[in-house]
Amino acid sequence: MKTTNIKAYGAASPDSDLDQLDIKRRSVTPKDVEIEILYCGVCHSDLHTARNDWGGTIYPTVPGHEIVGKVTQVGNGVTGFKVGDLVGVGCLVDSCRTCESCKKDLEQYCLNGFTGTYNGHEKYLDEQTFGGYSEKVVVDEHFVLKVPTNLDPAAVSPLLCAGITTWSPLRHWKVGKGSKVAVVGLGGLGHMAIKLAKGLGAEVTLFSRSEGKKADAERLGADEVIISTDADQMDSVAGKFDLIIDTVPYIHDINPYVATLTINGTLVLVGYLGELDPMLNSVPLIMGRKSVAGSVIGGIAETQEMLDFCGENNIVSDIEIIKMQDINTAYERMLKSDVKYRFVIDMASLKE
Ligand code: NAP
Ligand code: ZN
Ligand code: ZN
């Protein structure tokens, strides 16, 4: 298959900084869309992957799965997009399309494993997939999203992961007017969870370790901020929430949050992957029919639904635009929770 060499930014090993490198993109197949990348959001998963926090990273790795760009070429079988369209690509670029999950528009739970935008398997070239910290990407049109044109395209890019990852549980657990939702952690995912839950009509509380984020959280739409390290504040919301979205990326004690769920309430983990420590106490679950659940990103139809909702309600991410060359500093700042509230790379800087 024909390929094109393009510029990208990636990591050569778990402990090396990200730097410029060349990668190949396949030429368009009949169902493919070629996209010039304008903006790419910086997700904490990019950092986890670059540093091999979860194991399994194939090097070199090019992160980035919050992509917004312009269509530059389409295959002759493409029906949904044309050259010049403003489009998005999130965390998925392929799946089997035939299993029970795929048939239900739940490509993220593909029983044969979805293809991640990075660190997945590029079946045409038989190598790892490379993400959005790059000039261009070629994606099957099924996995390409329409971006509402009334929104700032840079501020839309984080919706492609942070937005859909929080939207999907809000919809699955039927959040609406009268729901009491709490969000743990005010970062990229957390700030989108507040905006989207608020947009759906819920009463929203933020749990944060950072006293300094209180005013911002209220500006973003939170009705209440609870400092999670303050036991009295935690007690004040015991038994309150229908749904808690926990976005914390590292191991932490979830038992104090379970105590704040109401009867039938659910705490959904979207941040930390791994074993819990301290262990989860089953008594409050049993005595209150409470659930602890997990959720990964969202399907393509649901992602389009979220983008359309954001277009209609003028919802975008709060962003800080950076150059590609600033990515290593951005990762260090992300580790210190010093992001308001998503870094977005202006991909034009890659040409500098
Ligand atoms: P982020 O911007 O770094 O935000 C994480 C927030 O969690 C921080 O702002 C901080 O908020 C809080 N936090 C950080 N370290 C903590 C610690 N050790 N203990 C307690 N709280 C801590 O990250 P993100 O991009 O939102 O991503 C969050 C996590 O979700 C990452 O692990 C990422 O890989 C994962 N993720 C999952 C999915 C999925 O599909 N399930 C999709 C995307 C990302 P406060 O300062 O307010 O406490
Ligand atoms: Zn992500
Ligand atoms: Zn499938």
Kindly report the CATH number assigned to the domain that includes residue 44.
3.90.180.10
Pair (153, 192) in one structural domain? no
Pair (256, 338) in one structural domain? no
> Each residue of 179-227: pLDDT tens digit?
999 999 999 999 999 999 999 999 999 999 999 999 999 999 999 999 9
The ligand 1 atom nearest the CA atom of 250: 18
Pair (290, 312) in one structural domain? no
Q: What pLDDT is stored for residue 221 in this prediction?
A: 97
What total number of domains does the chain contain?
A: 2
Q: Ligand 1 within 6 A of 213 CB?
A: yes
> Each residue of 324-344: pLDDT tens digit?
999 999 999 999 999 999 999
Contact 352, 328 (CB under 8 A): no
Q: What is the 3-state secondary structure (H, E, C) of 241-276?
A: EEEEEECCCCCCCCHHHHCCEEEEEEEEECCCCCCC
Pair (84, 111) in one structural domain? yes
Pair (20, 46) in one structural domain? yes
Pair (168, 66) in one structural domain? no
> Each residue of 132-173: pLDDT tens digit?
999 999 999 999 999 999 999 999 999 999 999 999 999 999
Minimal-distance CA residue to ligand 1 atom 25: 44
Q: State which residues form the domain around 259.
A: 162-294
Q: What pLDDT is stored for residue 141 in this prediction?
A: 98
Choice from 209, 246, 269 to test ligand 1 binding pocket (greatest atom count within 8 A of CB): 209
Cα 43 to ligand 2 centroid, rounded to whole Å: 5
Q: Ligand 1 within 6 A of 44 CB?
A: yes
Q: Ligand 1 within 6 A of 198 CB?
A: no
Domain end marker among 254, 278, 294 = 294
Pair (53, 14) in one structural domain? yes
Cα–Cα dist 322/79, whole Å: 34
> Each residue of 225-251: pLDDT tens digit?
999 999 999 999 999 999 999 999 999
Q: Ligand 1 within 6 A of 209 CB?
A: yes
Pair (190, 105) in one structural domain? no
Q: Which ligand is nearest to the CA of 188?
A: 1
CATH classification of the domain holding 176: 3.40.50.720
Pair (347, 245) in one structural domain? no
Q: Ligand 1 within 6 A of 321 CB?
A: no
**Cα dist. 248→105, 186, 206, 244 in Å?**
27, 9, 12, 12
Contact 145, 87 (CB under 8 A): yes
> Each residue of 67-114: pLDDT tens digit?
999 999 999 999 999 999 999 999 999 999 999 999 999 999 999 999
Q: What pLDDT is stored for residue 125 in this prediction?
A: 98
Pair (13, 145) in one structural domain? yes
> Each residue of 31-70: pLDDT tens digit?
999 999 999 999 999 999 999 999 999 999 999 999 999 9
Q: Ligand 1 within 6 A of 116 CB?
A: no
Minimal-distance CA residue to ligand 1 atom 2: 187
Pair (71, 93) in one structural domain? yes
Q: What pLDDT is stored for residue 41 in this prediction?
A: 98
Domain end marker among 294, 313, 339 = 294
Pair (209, 314) in one structural domain? no
Q: pTM for this one? A: 0.98
Minimal-distance CA residue to ligand 1 atom 22: 248
Choice from 42, 45, 184 to test ligand 1 binding pocket (greatest atom count within 8 A of CB): 45
End-to-end Cα separation, the chain, in angstroms: 30
Q: What pLDDT is stored for residue 97 in this prediction?
A: 97
Q: What is the DSSP secondary-structure string of 138-198?
A: EEEGGG-EEPPTTS-HHHHGGGGTHHHHHHHHHHHTT--TT-EEEEE--SHHHHHHHHHHH
Q: Ligand 1 within 6 A of 163 CB?
A: no
Cα 213 to ligand 1 centroid, rounded to whole Å: 14
